[in-house]
Structure 1
């Protein structure tokens, strides 16, 4: 299965099971196994370790404890279309895992914003000081 121009996954790494689906299809849905459950063993796959980690994080609840990514497609009435949809979802997920996240740069407030904040604080302090009772003359 081709993911990008440079990356492809061997078909033996993908396991597909067909089962009965809920949803559209009327009586037809009770007779055919049109839903697809695609299983991809991330832990034993040929992907790089960094990509595997990002894929596990992106997969979330679709990942089993054993490190298997489970994608279920049952929206279409046709088994072929459900199969294509599940494979496309896997391809998109792996493609997203290929790009490492940008490192976070620590933000720092600008000097003008610090100055404005201090001026506002001083104004507020002055306003509150004016509310106090005047000091007794001695």
Structure 2
């Protein structure tokens, strides 16, 4: 079980990982050892709340497949364990961001002082521009 919040966790059977060959540095092992990790999280099995799923779809973007499988690839490190830990960390961070409900905005009216400041600024700008327009008289 991977704990996301105090009340939300993902079962291990919703996760699957596959080791693939990584590009980049690795010395002689780069063509022999599969160190990159492709972590897949089946969101149907994860049993997440509907509102969290909607936020997760927006946050995940291209990492989410049409079958609602979240795919995270980590290949920055040279060892499988560090790449596995990084992929798992990215998954939990993404799910924690999706778990946070956005605050509802409460509509407020502008104060009388803020309206007056806006009108004063408009008048000042208008005055400056009108002074630029006045052409000197040629006598």
TM-score bucket of the superposed structures, by smaller chain: 0.7 to 0.9
Calculate the aligned-residue CA RMSD, in Å: 2.7
Q: Match for residue 102 of structure 2?
A: 101
| Structure 1 residue ranges without an equivalent (≥5) | 131-138
Q: Match for residue 10 of structure 1?
A: 11
Map 1:36-55 to 2 at 5 A: 36-55=37-56
Normalised to the residue count of structure 2, the TM-score between the two structures is 0.79
Cα distance in 1, alignment partners of residues 106 and 124 from structure 2 = 33
Answer whether contact 2:41 2:69 (CA < 8 A) is retained.
yes
Aligned residues: 133
What do residues 2-32 of structure 1 show as CA deviations (whole Å, max 9, x unaligned)?
2233322111101111100012212211101
Structure 1 residues 87 and 123 mapped into 2: Cα distance closer, same or farther (>3 Å)?
closer
1:90 equivalent to 2:91? Answer yes
Cα distance in 2, alignment partners of residues 94 and 128 from structure 1 = 52
Secondary structure, counterpart of 1:27 in structure 2: helix
Map 1:117-132 to 2 at 5 A: 117-121=118-122
Which structure has greater helix proportion? 2
| Structure 2 residue ranges without an equivalent (≥5) | 132-139
Structure 1 residues 108 and 28 mapped into 2: Cα distance closer, same or farther (>3 Å)?
same
What do residues 87-133 of structure 1 show as CA deviations (whole Å, max 9, x unaligned)?
11111111111110111233533211212333455567778899xxx
Cα distance in 2, alignment partners of residues 31 and 83 from structure 1 = 18
Answer whether contact 2:11 2:46 (CA < 8 A) is retained.
no
Secondary structure, counterpart of 1:29 in structure 2: helix
Answer whether contact 1:43 1:52 (CA < 8 A) is retained.
no
Map 1:9-88 to 2 at 5 A: 9-88=10-89
